[in-house]
């Protein structure tokens, strides 16, 4: 028999550890993540179809009205360059959203932890790791679904089966992917380009419609129909996508994500320790930290406080810099062309200096309402 170099005790944690810590740089790397089916891409196909739908009518409008009727090749080139520059920028940011990981939650030493087997001595001394795990759980920084630490502002997406740094929302229209720390800037860039392109098409088409009504014999019959279609289509897209753009602009100015803005219960993770009856400091009771067990008055207090407590609002200028800032001299070019990615590591965030005081008041208010139950 040939001697074996394997240890006496092997717990077989190599693959499970790699799966649990969320090694998700590549969605097709073989880990136990939900697989995308063909029907998950149907909304994306529709989005691309709607982006390309107005272009045949737009080209006909530019040739028939700007070139032949106005006899202005300069205007024709200006409109052509403007519309297709915005289209190119929109598709560039869309490709970034589809190709880039929104924010992998991976510990720094994941490769070593994934490739080394646990020895017998390490298994006996694993108590310190268990204590650290309990501290992370008590502080609300532990994902029970991934069985791994969860950085600040990260959230577990049930559709993707993983945690995402600075999770904003899961978008079914953009490849059934999450919008997170590394793709939020590209997402806002995409909304901006689509909105500007729609507004530009509306003004261009509406001027053609006005000319057709004032000069009915100077234009052919089909061009006004295409102009009416472009006016209606552009107005609808501008209203729909523009509303999302305005909403995300508000979120950027106040340094919130969509998930944080729509989830008041997240404040429960950041409640400070409450003084106990003997004067020692202890965490808030477990029933206060559970949103399901809160009373109606406590939930109403939590929702009211959620409108005032903005944990990461450090001023609108610094808030914008967190999303659209760059470190390299040429970073502005990436922001202009395709939006780029988020600034920072996605794990550490500056806090609002007033947030701790407001959280302390909220914790006391919840505790007082608990005593009245």
Q: What is the pLDDT of residues 287-329, one digit of tens each?
A: 556 777 888 898 999 999 998 999 999 999 999 999 998 878 8
- The reported pTM is 0.82
- Gap between the Cα atoms of 213 and 111, Å rounded: 68
* In the chain, where the domains are located: 261-371
- Is pLDDT of 122 > 70? no
- Mean pLDDT is lowest, of 18-32, 35-49, 178-192, 358-372, for 18-32
Pick from 361, 358, 366: nearest CA to 290 = 366
Phi and psi angles of residue 163, each rounded to the nearest 5 degrees, phi first = -90, 150
CB atoms within 10 A of CB 246: 12
- Is pLDDT of 55 > 90? yes
CB atoms within 10 A of CB 370: 17
Strand 281-282 versus strand 274-275 pairing type? antiparallel
pLDDT value of residue 140: 55
Contact, 90 vs 194, CB < 8 A?
yes
How many residues does this entry show for the chain?
373
3-state secondary structure (DSSP) of residue 36: coil
3-state secondary structure (DSSP) of residue 343: coil
pLDDT value of residue 172: 93
Query: DSSP characters for 129-198?
Result: HHHHHHHHHHTT-EETTTTEE--TT-EEETTTTEEETT--EEESSSSSEEE-TTTHHHHHHHHHHHHHHH
What rounded mean pLDDT belongs to the chain? 82
3-state secondary structure (DSSP) of residue 202: helix
Pick from 41, 39, 22: nearest CA to 31 = 22
């Amino acid at each position: 028999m040939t001697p074996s170099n394997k240890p006496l005790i092997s717990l077989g944690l190599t693959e499970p550890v790699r799966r649990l810590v969320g090694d998700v740089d590549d969605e097709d790397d073989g880990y136990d993540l939900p697989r995308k089916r063909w029907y998950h891409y149907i909304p994306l196909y529709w989005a691309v179809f709607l982006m390309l739908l107005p272009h045949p009518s737009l080209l006909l409008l530019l040739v028939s009205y700007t070139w032949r009727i106005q006899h202005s090749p300069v205007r024709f080139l200006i409109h052509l360059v403007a519309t297709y520059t915005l289209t190119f920028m929109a598709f560039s940011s869309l490709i970034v959203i589809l190709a880039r990981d929104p924010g992998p939650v991976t510990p720094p030493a994941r490769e070593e932890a994934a490739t080394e087997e646990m020895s017998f001595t390490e298994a006996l001394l694993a108590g310190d790791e268990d204590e650290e795990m309990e501290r992370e759980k008590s502080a609300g920084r532990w994902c029970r679904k991934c069985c791994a630490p969860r950085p600040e502002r990260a959230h577990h997406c049930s559709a993707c089966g993983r945690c995402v740094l600075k999770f904003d929302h899961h978008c079914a229209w953009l490849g059934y992917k999450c919008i997170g720390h590394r793709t939020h800037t590209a997402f806002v860039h995409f909304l901006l380009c689509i909105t500007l392109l729609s507004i530009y098409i509306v003004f261009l088409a509406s001027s053609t419609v006005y000319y057709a009504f004032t000069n009915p014999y100077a234009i052919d019959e089909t061009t006004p129909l295409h102009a009416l279609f472009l006016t209606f289509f552009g107005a609808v897209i501008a209203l729909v996508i523009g509303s999302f753009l305005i909403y995300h602009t508000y979120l950027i100015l106040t340094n919130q994500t969509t998930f944080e803005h729509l989830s008041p219960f997240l404040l429960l993770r950041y409640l400070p320790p409450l003084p106990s009856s003997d004067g020692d400091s202890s965490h808030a009771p477990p029933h206060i930290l559970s949103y399901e067990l809160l009373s109606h008055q406590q939930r109403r207090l939590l929702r009211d406080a959620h409108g005032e407590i903005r944990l990461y609002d450090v001023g609108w200028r610094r808030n914008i810099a967190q999303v659209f800032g760059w470190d390299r001299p040429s970073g502005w070019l990436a922001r202009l062309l395709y939006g780029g990615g988020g600034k920072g590591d996605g794990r550490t965030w500056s806090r609002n200096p007033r947030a701790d005081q407001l959280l302390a008041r909220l914790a006391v208010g919840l505790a007082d309402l608990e005593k009245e139950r």
